[in-house]
Chains A and B, each alone.
Chain A
């Protein structure tokens, strides 16, 4: 948290830094970064939360599922969750006695279920809007769907939107910023107009306009968020390129006849990445926030998908069901906070001159 203390490079006891610089440059950067990053307990905590969330998203099927891990039925053993992957990839099929059955109603079966034995798509109209209980940890929504299951599977949507949207934004931002900063003069002037346009456009309004006009789709939502949030990265990249462009080693590379593209992306870009990495991490948090607002407003992500924002939206209309408002919102908050803390930790490690949050 010591944002005021000059960057880690001045204070960290880097006894081995010199030795590593000799080796692969990219590898040296990352291990050096990690060594300094882990001295910051708060950023490290954020990093662990990020890992935990990624784990949750990857293994959502094993945490919340209406199929058991292990099933003993009619004298045979099955592993229904694993089998569902095989069926999903067309490598296997359900045995006839398990095809389209409700595992919980199989007679005389011994089964071992995940901690949350529901899927977000399990509608149970007999248990609408149940408050949190031992049976439904975070309660149920008005269709009787388990909120905890919805949140665990919703983390997949939030995280994938965060990553893909920021990936798109970084791609646009880095390319435009690099071209503007490298070629300068007229190219820079033209591309800078584009930055100015994106800066003055009310981005969120543009976002809901496009999202509402196009048919609801997960990928479109990612693309739209990405295409409206690249300006920060582009400006950082441009400024770094403007600075590095005039360094001797770049002049040397150009003089040796290295092609523009190679100079830009092989020689300059690795040195210009520091501020971009930071804004990528902040951007993931920002994109998750934006997605939650969009699904809250009921646009963008298809209505049948359960996302953190869509549960929250239901919470705002059924005001007595406080669990619908509290839990998903808290999940968004923790996720975004974790990314911001990691971003701030990286900022301190990477570049002390970068100021502000975004």
Chain B
């Protein structure tokens, strides 16, 4: 196992370099320089209306100064190396937008996104696993066919549509006001509230975002669970268990379920990038101050350091997630030899 781990870790180095290179190059080679954007923002409408030559000179000077301050005037490879060096010491620099340290921005918003995604993952697994079990044990029955169609239906529902429909029909507006249209806590939220009221308030705000983030996940996972369980059900040892007179309940929940749950571990790593993508949309629509919203706002503002930091951090976390789930899979299932990942 040690040698497998070492091999995997070694192979992660080129992957890591690739990720950072892609992120860095995209941000730097894209047209539209943050210095220019900043200058245009500072001058406001004057820039569009045509400004005098003297003013233009002053702007150019300010821009050059600003470029030097943020190291944007150095050659590209030097910029990359400097950035990489800072990365290892978790120095992500200051945001171009409001000059706050990027690290502070990330850590400030991380808990919200983690909370949102953990609940989503929990719901995905809690709904999908029983659904998958039901579909597999009642394979090809009417119930199975309905869940299959439902699963595909949910999978095809555009997240932006589901969120918009929710906002239009049940979040105030002209129809019903069942859930708040945004935020993670009420405006009059205070620490003096009793615990149950705080929990209630949070649950009320998080319910819709979490459900919206989860639904396509449980469609996919229940399908995986179903096929994995059907595969186990076909195996000889299940037949033996039935032949020796065990109750069907025990066969399913004690013998089959455990083995068919194993492959679902690897899906956790696949679920992560999808959830992060979903967070961008959901947090933007419901104005939840999490990483997704920060990401989208930073992209629009060309806040290079923040975008790069977010990009790298999530990619590295996913990379670690993939490694961990592979390791976990190999630990849980002795049939899987190290070094031969199921594709």
B299: Cβ under 8 A from any A Cβ:
yes
The listed residue (B152, B281, B307, B319) touching A200 by CB distance below 8 A is B319
Contact B220 A358 (CB under 8 A): yes
Instruction: Identify the closest chain B residue to A294 (Cβ).
Output: B160
Contact A1 B311 (CB under 8 A): no
Contact B160 A293 (CB under 8 A): yes
Closest CB-CB distance, A246 to chain B, in whole Å? 16
Q: Indicate whether A336 sits within 8 Å of B318 (C-beta atoms), given known contacts A42-B149, A193-B11, A322-B169.
A: no
> Which of A61-69, A101-109, A160-168, A202-210 binds B?
A202-210
Q: Which among B14, B15, B139, B314 has the highest number of chain A CB atoms within 10 Å?
A: B15
Which residues 298-336 of A sit at the B interface, judged by CB distance below 8 A? 309, 312-313, 315-316, 319-320, 322, 325-326, 328-330, 332-333, 336
Which residues from chain B contact A196 at a C-beta distance below 8 Å? 11, 15, 319, 322
Closest CB-CB distance, A5 to chain B, in whole Å? 7
B251: Cβ under 8 A from any A Cβ:
no
Instruction: Identify the closest chain A residue to B319 (Cβ).
Output: A200
Complex: A150 Cα to B310 Cα, angstroms: 36
Contact B156 A337 (CB under 8 A): yes
Contact B165 A326 (CB under 8 A): yes
Which residues 136-150 of B sit at the A interface, judged by CB distance below 8 A? 139-140, 145, 148-149
Q: Which bucket holds chain B's interface residue count?
A: 35 or more
A257: Cβ under 8 A from any B Cβ:
no
Which residues 202-251 of A sit at the B interface, judged by CB distance below 8 A? 202-206, 208-210, 212-215, 235, 238-239
Contact A193 B15 (CB under 8 A): yes
Which residues from chain A contact B171 at a C-beta distance below 8 Å? 319
A292: Cβ under 8 A from any B Cβ:
yes
B205: Cβ under 8 A from any A Cβ:
no
Contact A193 B343 (CB under 8 A): no
Contact A315 B295 (CB under 8 A): no
Contact B14 A200 (CB under 8 A): no
A341: Cβ under 8 A from any B Cβ:
yes
Q: Indicate whether A325 sits within 8 Å of B168 (C-beta atoms), given known contacts A3-B148, A293-B281, A320-B173.
A: yes
Which residues from chain A contact B220 at a C-beta distance below 8 Å? 356-358
Which residues from chain B contact A193 at a C-beta distance below 8 Å? 11, 14-15, 18
Contact A205 B276 (CB under 8 A): yes
Complex: A197 Cα to B322 Cα, angstroms: 11
Complex: A357 Cα to B161 Cα, angstroms: 21
Contact A316 B343 (CB under 8 A): no
A340: Cβ under 8 A from any B Cβ:
yes
Which residues from chain B contact A197 at a C-beta distance below 8 Å? 15, 18-19, 22
> Which of B24-32, B43-51, B61-69, B191-199 binds A?
B24-32
> Which of B70-78, B79-87, B223-231, B238-246 binds A?
B223-231
Complex: A213 Cα to B157 Cα, angstroms: 28
The listed residue (A3, A208, A292, A357) touching B219 by CB distance below 8 A is A357
Count of chain A residues near B, Cβ 8 A: 59
Instruction: Identify the closest chain A residue to B20 (Cβ).
Output: A197
Contact B314 A202 (CB under 8 A): yes
Contact A325 B140 (CB under 8 A): no
Contact B156 A336 (CB under 8 A): yes
Instruction: Identify the closest chain A residue to B276 (Cβ).
Output: A202
Closest CB-CB distance, A229 to chain B, in whole Å? 12
B285: Cβ under 8 A from any A Cβ:
yes
Which residues from chain B contact A328 at a C-beta distance below 8 Å? 161
Complex: A42 Cα to B171 Cα, angstroms: 35
Contact B26 A213 (CB under 8 A): yes
Contact A309 B22 (CB under 8 A): no
Which residues 1-37 of A sit at the B interface, judged by CB distance below 8 A? 1-5
Which residues 294-343 of B sit at the A interface, judged by CB distance below 8 A? 295-296, 299-300, 302, 307, 310-311, 314-316, 318-319, 322, 343
Q: Indicate whether A213 sits within 8 Å of B160 (C-beta atoms), given known contacts A297-B281, A320-B174.
A: no
B57: Cβ under 8 A from any A Cβ:
no
B279-296 interface mask toward A, CB cutoff 8 Å, 1 = contact, 0 = none? 011001100000000011
Contact B158 A329 (CB under 8 A): yes
Which residues from chain B contact A212 at a C-beta distance below 8 Å? 299-300
Q: Indicate whether A312 sits within 8 Å of B160 (C-beta atoms), given known contacts A202-B276, A297-B284, A325-B168.
A: yes
Which residues from chain B contact A312 at a C-beta distance below 8 Å? 158, 160-161, 164
Which residues from chain A contact B159 at a C-beta distance below 8 Å? 289, 293
Which residues from chain B contact A3 at a C-beta distance below 8 Å? 148, 226-227
Which residues from chain B contact A200 at a C-beta distance below 8 Å? 15, 19, 273, 315-316, 318-319, 322
Complex: A194 Cα to B295 Cα, angstroms: 24
B102: Cβ under 8 A from any A Cβ:
no
Q: Indicate whether A214 sits within 8 Å of B322 (C-beta atoms), given known contacts A42-B149, A205-B311, A326-B165.
A: no
Which residues from chain A contact B227 at a C-beta distance below 8 Å? 3, 355-356
Complex: A235 Cα to B343 Cα, angstroms: 8
Contact B314 A292 (CB under 8 A): no
The listed residue (B18, B163, B223, B314) touching A356 by CB distance below 8 A is B223
Closest CB-CB distance, B187 to chain A, in whole Å? 19
Closest CB-CB distance, B127 to chain A, in whole Å? 16
Contact A329 B161 (CB under 8 A): yes
Q: Indicate whether A337 sits within 8 Å of B152 (C-beta atoms), given known contacts A200-B318, A320-B174.
A: yes
Which residues from chain A contact B315 at a C-beta distance below 8 Å? 200-202
Instruction: Identify the closest chain A residue to B174 (Cβ).
Output: A320
A285: Cβ under 8 A from any B Cβ:
yes
Q: Indicate whether A4 sits within 8 Å of B230 (C-beta atoms), given known contacts A209-B311, A312-B160.
A: yes
A199: Cβ under 8 A from any B Cβ:
yes
A138: Cβ under 8 A from any B Cβ:
no
Interface residues of A (CB under 8 A from B): 1-5, 42, 189, 193-194, 196-197, 199-206, 208-210, 212-215, 235, 238-239, 285, 289, 292-293, 296-297, 309, 312-313, 315-316, 319-320, 322, 325-326, 328-330, 332-333, 336-337, 340-341, 344, 355-358
Beyond contacts A197-B22, A292-B160: 6 other A-B pairs, Cβ-Cβ < 8 A, are A197-B18, A200-B15, A200-B322, A319-B174, A336-B156, A344-B152
Contacts A/B (CB < 8 Å), 5 sampled = A205-B280, A208-B280, A328-B161, A333-B158, A355-B227
